[in-house]
Amino acid sequence: MEKFIYKPKGVCSREMIFEIEGETIVSLTVIGGCAGNLSGISSIVKGMNYNQVVSAFENIKCGNKITSCPDQMAIALKQYFNK
């Protein structure tokens, strides 16, 4: 299992800590942001293949921002898996 830490841009959350095994998200911890929503999202992505998460979360906006925490998660996962 590998740990990947991502510093999101343009959103309220400050850090996303992924634990990844193969192509599966084992856990996700988000520091900062909307605690309830991000706890829920973290629970949902456990056990999911990263492609599923990217497909579901990519290009989601938050209000009039050009990104969102879910979009930043998709960006982080694409960055991790395309290294």
**What is the per-residue pLDDT across 11-46, written as a single tens digit (0 to 9) for each?**
999 999 999 999 999 999 999 999 999 999 999 999
Q: Residue 48's domain is classified under what CATH number? A: 3.30.390.50
- As a whole number of angstroms, the distance between CA 83 and CA 66 comes to 24
The residue segments making up the domain with residue 38 are 2-81
Q: What is the pLDDT of residue 62?
A: 95
> For residue 83, what pLDDT is reported?
80
pLDDT in tens, 37-77: 999 999 999 999 999 999 999 999 999 999 999 999 999 99
Tokens of 64: 């009039």
- State the total domains in the chain: 1
pTM summary value: 0.95
**Tokens encoding 17:** 């800590």
Q: What does the pLDDT read at residue 81?
A: 96
Q: List the beta strands (DSSP E) in 1-83.
A: 2-6, 13-21, 24-32
